[in-house]
Structure 1
Amino acid sequence: MDVIELESFLSSPPHGFSAERRAGCTVVKWDQENSCVFIDEIQSSKGNIIFCNSPGREITVRTLGEYTDLRRKLTSMTTYILVSACTKTTVEEKRNRDVPALRYYVVAINGSHPMIRWEMERGLDRTISSVAGESYTVDVDVSAALQGWVGENFQILVDAEKVKPTWKDTHFTIKYRSDALFDIPYWFGFSKRQFKSVELKPKDEETMRAMEL
């Protein structure tokens, strides 16, 4: 896993990426054979940032073949999502008021790593085995892994003041939409079953070594 500030990502793109400045926007191209990018169009002070061919944060699959292809990519390629570093005052938290991002970061997740692949496969298997033949939505959340990566003392410099951020938009969503006419609970809004999302968590060194064996 890697966490890269968005400006650094654009000024010095990683292997397989290129960023082209155009009038009023930045266009990012990437190698679709080796990466998965789930990033929506971003509105920044320097113009819009567009990741070409990205489906955005929500990915919809409608057949088992599409699901299988997506699963293969998630567990063999590096996935990139955009997270927001924000801060809230006590008053804003009580009012549940949304606040703009202080800074954006691109999170890169190596799906081929044994630990990541195991977590991903376990979460997806648990979900699809519970809702076979039905439509469902599952979130893949990296908040715990992100917090473990940056550490408890991570701070951002804002107006010459160090601020400890809260993290938002730390997930991407897979939506499976079955065409089966018997999926009555979903189509009529009666399906209330919920399952724990796929949550990528940092592991201790002993667990990581065991996963790599």
Structure 2
Amino acid sequence: MILTQLLTGISVTELGQFLKNPPEGFTVKKFGSEYRVQSDDQSLVFIDDLHSGNRNVVFLNSLGRKFKMHNLWEYTSMRKSLLSKRIYVLVSLCVPQASKKGATEPRVLREYVFSINGGDPMTKWQMERGLDWTISSVAGESYRVEINLSEILNSLAAEGLVDEDLMKYNPTWKDASFTLKYYSDALFDFPHWFGFSKKSFKLRPINT
């Protein structure tokens, strides 16, 4: 099932459907129980390799959910891509479940490939503002910035764009973000060591 937000440039596709009918810019090849997903240079993929059901899925051109940058050139290149390409992240709809040890762990109901157009004017404005805020709040040290997609995903559920049979469980979204890590060459990077340079900003529905 493809769930398309009534807001510009956003879509959520169930993982199985994505593999069966990949969107423009993607090709999928199956080798036994493994699916290999190839994307073009107009797509920015932040998805780790995964095992889902009885299948292994590998996104060959993925940068991984946590992307590392080591110099200004890498940061500038990543920033340009974020603000111009279509971004893909794997997210999971989950409910809490008690484990044998008594701890509460999320149980995955369904996995989706979330896509947002980084070049859309409002999305681009939000990311530019978030990235600029991050840079202005650090002073040459390493930092980590998390781009959080939870508010957009919650809006999908609120508008009834997620299957009703799933919503009766009052599920929550897991892995609704991706992270950029910038490593400075500063020798005494105390703010980073003590966790003071961890930043996060949320992308919000365009109509709010």
The answer, yes or no, to whether TM exceeds 0.5 is yes
Quote the residue 2:27 is aligned against: 18
Runs (5+) with no aligned partner, structure 1: 208-213
Q: TM-score, normalised by structure 2?
A: 0.86
Q: TM-score, normalised by structure 1?
A: 0.84
Which structure has greater strand proportion? 2
Q: Is 1:136 matched up with 2:143? A: yes
Distance in 1 between residues matched to 2:116 and 2:27, nearest whole Å: 19
Q: Is 1:145 matched up with 2:152? A: yes
Per-residue CA shift, 1:132-181, capped at 9, x if unaligned? 311001100010011112325444647xx953421110000000011122
Quote the residue 1:88 is aligned against: 96
CA displacement at 1:102 relative to structure 2? 1.3
Distance in 1 between residues matched to 2:53 and 2:195, nearest whole Å: 42
Q: Is 1:202 matched up with 2:205? A: yes
- Which one-letter code corresponds to 2:201 in the other structure? V
Distance 1:191 1:9, change over 3 A: closer
Question: Among residues 160, 169, 181, which one is paired with 1:163 in the alignment?
Answer: 169
CA displacement at 1:76 relative to structure 2? 0.2
Q: CA RMSD in A?
A: 2.2
Runs (5+) with no aligned partner, structure 2: 1-9
Q: Is 1:192 matched up with 2:169? A: no
CA displacement at 1:49 relative to structure 2? 0.4
Quote the residue 1:210 is aligned against: none
Distance in 1 between residues matched to 2:205 and 2:61, nearest whole Å: 30
Identity, in percent, stands at 44
- Which one-letter code corresponds to 1:35 in the other structure? S
Question: Among residues 103, 108, 112, which one is paired with 2:110 in the alignment?
Answer: 103
**What SS does the aligned partner of 1:101 have?**
strand
Is contact 1:156-1:165 (8 Å) kept?
no
Which structure has greater helix proportion? 1
**What SS does the aligned partner of 1:139 have?**
strand
Distance 1:81 1:21, change over 3 A: same
Poorly superposed stretches of 4+, deviation over 6 Å: none
Q: How many pairs align?
A: 196
Distance 1:42 1:119, change over 3 A: same
Q: Is 1:52 matched up with 2:60? A: yes
Question: Among residues 38, 46, 51, which one is paired with 1:43 in the alignment?
Answer: 51
Distance 1:47 1:112, change over 3 A: same
Distance in 1 between residues matched to 2:150 and 2:194, nearest whole Å: 30
Distance in 2 between residues matched to 1:203 and 1:55, nearest whole Å: 26
